[in-house]
Amino acid sequence: MGLLKYAVYRFATMVLTLLVVSVLVFAIINLPPGDYLSNQIAELRATGQQSGIAKAEFLRKEFALDRPLWEQYMIWMGFMPGPHGFSGLIQGNFGWSFEFDRPVAEIVGDTLWLTVLVNVAAVLFVYIVALPLGILAAARSKTWVDYTSAFVGYLGLATPNFLLALILFHYGNKYLGLPIGGLMDPSYEGQPMTWGKVQSIIGHMIVPTFVIGTSGAAAMMQRLRANLLDELSKPYVETAIAKGMSERRMLVKYPLRMAFNPFVADIGNLLPAMVSGSVLVSVVMGLQTIGPALLIALKSQDLFLTGFILMFVALLTLIGTMISDVLLVLLDPRIRYEGRDI
Amino acid sequence: MKDLLTVEDLSIGFGLGTSVVQNVSFSLKPGGTLALVGESGSGKTITCRAILRILPKAAQLRSGRVVLNGRDGERVLSTMTEKQMRGVRGDSVSMIFQEPMRSLSPLHRIGNQISEVLWLHRGASESQAKKKVLATFERVGFPDPERAYRAYPFELSGGMRQRAMIAMAMVSEPELLIADEPTTALDVTTQAQVLGLIRELQADTGMALILVTHDLGVVANMAKDVVVMHKGRVMEAGPAEPVLMSPAHPYTKKLIAAAPAIPEPEGGAVAEPPPVVDPILMLKDVSKTYLIRGGIGAEVIVPACQHVSITLPRGKTLAIVGESGSGKSTAARIALGAEPPDEGGEVLFTPDPGGETIAVHAMDRTQRTLLQKRAQMVFQDPYSSLSPRMRIIDALTEPLEIHNIGTRSERKDRAVQMLQQVGLGPEMLMRYPHAFSGGQRQRLSIARALTLDPALLVCDEPTSALDVSVQEQILTLLEDIRDRMGLSYLFISHDLAVVSRIADEVAVMRRGLIVEQATPDQLFNNPVHPYTKALIAARPEPDISRPIDLALVSQGAGSPESWPEQFRLTDTVIPALTSLSPGHKVRCHV
């Protein structure tokens, strides 16, 4: 059995899943009666602005919103020619935002990679913090180390993120001179990448990473501790000690390796939880991530913008689970070799 | 000759409680073999672990001295620092554990885990270690050492894993090997082979052995000296022969009397079984094939059960005997309707004499309820088969509630009655399972199975998780209830001695096939099939004059392709089950 074969198989299922998700996303967005344009037309009628109505009617035609739903879907995805030929998601046309009156690509452009950046940083933060603390808490279970880390962890879980954001902004700025709000200095916005811009982004990311990552790290740490404690009572640990290994070496080589599986399997869950969980935080902290845009788009039933953002989050999730699945196969020979003849 | 190991006045306790090991002393000569014998809770495991100080964190060494006087001079293990101890563990003194399935890390290759001993103690390089490990693998009987070196533990069978554990313990050429129930988790024929291997290695290398076990049969086959422990104290100690043959202490006597034994061959005429007139349960040509999805894509067809036909007469006990993977449990599950057999198989259940016969795998709703009431199961592990959150009264009345039988007070009366049937008192009704010992719990499981007034009990290894003396009591209880309440048993076991005592008929299974079927008398006096012979021969007897005949074991327990022509099983050729004499069937070519 080849790992490559498995990766290809996993990729194929991912594409299929994405397709199913796209149907669901499109159906759900269209569940509430009306769409952005018909709402607008109704409003214009009420105020008697005929010229606006004509423009809206034109847009309806332009974006095929007058067609049956399934055709709209096919055109949106790019499986079927629309008023301008094949021009959908798979052709790289993300659609038009009626709310902002600009192409979706233009609106989300910068925020896409900033979202990825912030969330990947948060995931890394989660792992870097949770790994050593979890091991320490398990190795010194039922001592003050364990109790303190559990206390701090629960505190992290229980504090509302936006509150934490405000507190950290205040004190971070007061004592460390950290910037408040945004992901870069306003002067860099829309500018090409320079060293100054990179520095500015890094500086701005410290507090958001911490805020978005804490609760995830606290939960992950507790999970790792529990997994490790389970593993520590297994007979193979005794075998390792009877061999004459030191506790530290034994801990890292055997139980940690075992406890790592659930840790890795979590990557997939972590990404979407953070993207959707950080919407409120992004609004509070003024981050130029995709969260605030999603909020606006949902409120105004901005069809294509909502659809694109949801598809993007789904893609992130699926990539996350795929990465963790492939990593698991690499990490665990029981998955890799099951059924091999010996 | 100096003693290699001296343990003096050892006491160990937990917290503020009384010591669980009290004033234990023994000594061991270089190359000697000492058996620590006792039932669960006797402190034998804690004692042996105290030598290497591999104890639970809460355990305190309250008194005593452990001295190792070997190639590195005299060392007092009980006062060494943890760091010094690490130099002893796995080097001069190594240890093997009970569960080979779980004692190796599943994520690391066998070769890596074993070479590690040499990396730690000899500072060996990877290739030096590998050379030595491969040689050791060959010595412990791996057919292809290179392959085993690369394998992961889950790719090996239980016996092979225990061989790997032994290799791990042997690779540093220790002066003392401590084996904590090394064969308890293994099948009886595998046990015989592993014990034989340990003995050979001992003869080759001259290392000493401490064998911790509950099985007097193993002791008789292995040990020169015996220490019998009970409740943390040494009851009797001395050379194996006098201790086993003419025990002085009443506890040792009790232990030896309780050890189940296969009856001596008596010779003479063997009673023929009467023809079956009123069967309660019939399995007709039952087969079960599993399709196992291995890895990605690969599918393996596993015939768990092939053409099993058995008939259980009312009021009798039919035992199915076999090793793990023989298909005995699958047959039992099919008999109870938990799984459907492959096409063509049929199971017939007749709960009442002359009453309705139910085809178990084509039941309507009322028949299903009837089956569920009249056929009950007693499970192997009394520790996990009772919910720890339910009081005994709730566990016992639950079946009645499910079937809507009686009022609250009637149910309670029934529960009290059942407790008395199994020898427990009504004052236990309000307790939780944790307040009971293993034997008492198994009594409770039996009581629960009895509340619905069943006609058939399926007992799945009901005594194998229990100590010998308790095992004896539970078997007596089961016999007693069977005769008193007119029950019929389908009895699943791997232990021929247990079966020889309780069964009226025995079916021996291997690879999903019944290979021999007879009354216990016929089976033990005149076993025909090589596998049956191996099973009987592999059972360690608590009798020094009857050591295990390893040649017989390895012939019968080997792969069915290697059996003598007459009995040989291959994928394509399966001999028929042939009647040799009335009631004695063997799978062979005539």
Pick A236's closest partner by Cβ from B87, B104, B297: B104
pLDDT for B124-178, tens place per residue? 899 999 999 999 998 888 888 998 899 888 888 878 888 899 999 999 989 999 9
Does residue B254 sit in the same domain as residue B224? yes
Pick B90's closest partner by Cβ from A244, A333, A338: A244
Q: Which amino acid is at B149?
A: Y
A235 contacts in chain B (CB < 8 Å): 97-99, 102-103
The CATH number of residue B319's host domain is 3.40.50.300
Nearest CA in chain A to B85: A244
User: What is the average pLDDT across B199-217?
Assistant: 91
Does residue A244 sit in the same domain as residue A177? yes
B112 contacts in chain A (CB < 8 Å): none
Enumerate the β-bridge partners of residue B585: B517, B579
For residue A5, being part of any structural domain is answered with no
Of the candidates B191, B201, B210, B127, the one whose C-alpha atom is nearest the C-alpha of residue B168 is B201
User: What is the average pLDDT across A235-262?
Assistant: 88
Q: Which two tokens stand for residue A260?
A: 């790592």
* Domain endpoint, select from A71, A93, A115: A93
pLDDT of residue A338: 54
Pick A258's closest partner by Cβ from B89, B107, B152: B107
A337 touches chain B (CB under 8 A): yes
Q: What is the DSSP string of A62-77?
A: HTTTTS-HHHHHHHHH
pLDDT of residue B317: 93
- Residues belonging to chain B with any Cβ–Cβ distance to chain A shorter than 8 Å: 52, 54, 83, 86-91, 94-95, 97-99, 102-109, 116-117, 120-121, 147, 151-152, 154-156, 165, 168, 292-298, 300
Q: Which two tokens stand for residue A166?
A: 């405000």
Locate tokens 């059995």: which residue? A1
User: Is A278 a residue whose pLDDT tops 80?
Assistant: no
For residue A342, being part of any structural domain is answered with no
* Domain endpoint, select from B173, B195, B210: B173
Does residue A262 sit in the same domain as residue A166? yes
pLDDT for B547-577, tens place per residue? 888 888 887 887 788 888 888 888 778 888 8
B109 contacts in chain A (CB < 8 Å): 333
Q: Which two tokens stand for residue A285?
A: 């902290």
pLDDT of residue A342: 36
Pick A244's closest partner by Cβ from B91, B107, B296: B91
User: Is B296 a residue whose pLDDT tops 60?
Assistant: no
Smallest CA–CA separation between B93 and chain A, in Å? 9
Of the candidates B94, B506, B14, the one whose C-alpha atom is nearest the C-alpha of residue A238 is B94
CB contact under 8 A, B89 and A258: no
| Listed range (A62-66, A173-177, A315-319) with the worst mean pLDDT | A62-66
CB contact under 8 A, A257 and B107: yes
ipTM of the complex: 0.75
For residue B416, being part of any structural domain is answered with no
Q: Considering only residues A193 and B462, tell me which one the structure prediction assigns the higher pLDDT.
A: B462
CB atoms within 10 A of CB B559: 10
Q: Is B212 exposed, middle or buried (0-12, 13-18, 19+ CB in 10 A)?
A: buried
User: Is B465 a residue whose pLDDT tops 70?
Assistant: yes
* Domain endpoint, select from A64, A93, A122: A93
Q: Which two tokens stand for residue A220?
A: 């992950």
Does residue A168 sit in the same domain as residue A202? yes
pLDDT band per the 50, 70, 90 thresholds, residue A50: confident
For residue B464, being part of any structural domain is answered with yes
Pick B120's closest partner by Cβ from A5, A243, A334: A243
CB contact under 8 A, B168 and A254: no
Pick A334's closest partner by Cβ from B86, B154, B293: B154
**Count of domains forming chain B:** 3
Q: What does the alpha-carbon distance between residue B21 and residue B37 come to, in Å, rounded to a whole number?
A: 14
For residue A290, being part of any structural domain is answered with yes
A96 touches chain B (CB under 8 A): no
Enumerate the β-bridge partners of residue B2: none
Note down the domain range covering B116.
102-173
Query: How many Cα atoms sit within 13 Å of B376 on the Cβ side?
Result: 17
Does residue B152 sit in the same domain as residue B191? no
For residue A14, being part of any structural domain is answered with no
Are B305 and B297 in contact by the 8 Å Cβ rule? The answer is no
Nearest CA in chain A to B143: A342
User: What is the average pLDDT across B298-318?
Assistant: 85
Instruction: Tell me the three state secondary structure of residue B214.
Output: coil
Q: B109, B296, B301, B302: which to substitute to probe chain A, counting the most A Cβ within 10 Å?
A: B296
pLDDT band per the 50, 70, 90 thresholds, residue B266: low
A338 touches chain B (CB under 8 A): yes
Are B347 and B282 in contact by the 8 Å Cβ rule? The answer is yes
Does residue A195 sit in the same domain as residue A276? yes
pLDDT for B340-390, tens place per residue? 899 888 999 998 888 888 888 888 888 888 898 899 999 888 878 888 888
User: What is the average pLDDT across B426-435?
Assistant: 87
Q: How many residues does chain A have?
A: 342
Q: Which two tokens stand for residue A36?
A: 């952005």
A2 touches chain B (CB under 8 A): no
pLDDT of residue A65: 81
Q: A236, A249, A337: which to substitute to probe chain B, counting the most B Cβ within 10 Å?
A: A236
Does residue B310 sit in the same domain as residue B372? yes
CB contact under 8 A, B104 and A342: no
Does residue A186 sit in the same domain as residue A283? yes
User: What is the average pLDDT across A115-128?
Assistant: 86
Pick B87's closest partner by Cβ from A236, A244, A338: A244
User: Is A313 a residue whose pLDDT tops 50?
Assistant: yes
Under 8 Å CB pairs connecting chains A and B tally to 99
CB contact under 8 A, A243 and B155: no
User: What is the average pLDDT across B411-418?
Assistant: 92
User: Is B331 a residue whose pLDDT tops 60?
Assistant: yes
Smallest CA–CA separation between B184 and chain A, in Å? 15
Q: What does the alpha-carbon distance between residue B382 and residue A131 come to, in Å, rounded to a whole number?
A: 39
CB contact under 8 A, A235 and B107: no
Q: How many residues does chain B have?
A: 590
CA dihedral of residues B69, B73, B74, B77 (deg, nearest 10)? -80
CA dihedral of residues A132, A135, A139, A143 (deg, nearest 10)? 70
pLDDT band per the 50, 70, 90 thresholds, residue A340: very low
User: Is B543 a residue whose pLDDT tops 90?
Assistant: no
Does residue B564 sit in the same domain as residue B465? yes
Does residue B22 sit in the same domain as residue B37? yes
Note down the domain range covering A48.
23-93
A6 touches chain B (CB under 8 A): yes
For residue A211, being part of any structural domain is answered with yes
Are B32 and B5 in contact by the 8 Å Cβ rule? The answer is no
For residue B360, being part of any structural domain is answered with yes
For residue B229, being part of any structural domain is answered with yes
Does residue B355 sit in the same domain as residue B465? yes
* Domain endpoint, select from B227, B258, B289: B258
User: Is B274 a residue whose pLDDT tops 80?
Assistant: no
pLDDT band per the 50, 70, 90 thresholds, residue B16: confident
pLDDT of residue B264: 66
pLDDT of residue A1: 52
CB contact under 8 A, B89 and A342: no
User: What is the average pLDDT across B247-267?
Assistant: 79
CB contact under 8 A, A246 and B116: no
pLDDT of residue B555: 79
Window 244-283 of A, Cβ < 8 Å to B: 244-246, 253-254, 257-258
Nearest CA in chain B to A337: B295
The CATH number of residue A330's host domain is 1.10.3720.10
Q: Which two tokens stand for residue A127?
A: 């792992």
pLDDT band per the 50, 70, 90 thresholds, residue B187: confident
Smallest CA–CA separation between A56 and chain B, in Å? 54
- Average pLDDT of the residues of chain B: 87
* Domain endpoint, select from A58, A93, A128: A93
Q: Is B142 exposed, middle or buried (0-12, 13-18, 19+ CB in 10 A)?
A: buried
pLDDT for B73-101, tens place per residue? 899 998 999 899 999 999 999 999 888 77
Pick A244's closest partner by Cβ from B102, B109, B120: B120
Does residue A257 sit in the same domain as residue A325? yes
Q: B72, B107, B171: which to substitute to probe chain A, counting the most A Cβ within 10 Å?
A: B107
pTM (two decimals): 0.78
A334 touches chain B (CB under 8 A): yes
Does residue A70 sit in the same domain as residue A112? no
Does residue A110 sit in the same domain as residue A61? no
For residue A98, being part of any structural domain is answered with no
What's B164-190 look like in SS3? HHHHHHHCCCCCEEEEECCCCCCCHHH
For residue B446, being part of any structural domain is answered with no
What's B430-455 look like in SS3? CCCHHHCCHHHHHHHHHHHHHCCCCC
Nearest CA in chain B to A258: B107
Enumerate the β-bridge partners of residue B180: B212
b/e A195-221 (16+ beta carbons within 10 angstroms → b): eebeebbebbbbbbbbbbbbbbbbbbb
For residue B425, being part of any structural domain is answered with no
User: Is B240 a residue whose pLDDT tops 80?
Assistant: yes
* Secondary structure letter of residue B426 according to DSSP: G
Does residue B566 sit in the same domain as residue B581? yes
Smallest CA–CA separation between B421 and chain A, in Å? 39
Does residue B246 sit in the same domain as residue B114? no
Does residue A156 sit in the same domain as residue A258? yes
CB contact under 8 A, B97 and A337: no
Pick B295's closest partner by Cβ from A238, A257, A338: A338
Q: What does the alpha-carbon distance between residue B198 and residue B218 come to, in Å, rounded to a whole number?
A: 12
For residue B407, being part of any structural domain is answered with no
A331 touches chain B (CB under 8 A): yes
Pick A238's closest partner by Cβ from B54, B156, B298: B54
User: Is A130 a residue whose pLDDT tops 60?
Assistant: yes
Does residue B189 sit in the same domain as residue B169? no
Smallest CA–CA separation between B103 and chain A, in Å? 4
CB contact under 8 A, B294 and A342: no
User: What is the average pLDDT across B103-110?
Assistant: 90
pLDDT band per the 50, 70, 90 thresholds, residue A184: confident
Are B331 and B320 in contact by the 8 Å Cβ rule? The answer is yes
A242 touches chain B (CB under 8 A): yes
What's A98-125 look like in SS3? CCCCEEHHHHHHHHHHHHHHHHHHHHHH
Does residue B487 sit in the same domain as residue B582? yes
Does residue A173 sit in the same domain as residue A246? yes
Enumerate the β-bridge partners of residue B299: B293
**Count of domains forming chain A:** 2
pLDDT for B27-80, tens place per residue? 999 999 999 998 888 889 899 999 999 988 888 889 999 999 988 889 999 899
Q: Which amino acid is at B106?
A: P
Instruction: Tell me the three state secondary structure of residue A135.
Output: helix
Residue B90 has phi, psi (to 5 degrees) of 80, -10
Nearest CA in chain B to A254: B105
Does residue B82 sit in the same domain as residue B158? no
pLDDT of residue B291: 77
Does residue A32 sit in the same domain as residue A150? no
For residue A99, being part of any structural domain is answered with no
Does residue A148 sit in the same domain as residue A66? no
CB contact under 8 A, A239 and B152: no
Does residue B373 sit in the same domain as residue B322? yes
* Domain endpoint, select from B115, B144, B173: B173
- Average pLDDT of the residues of chain A: 83
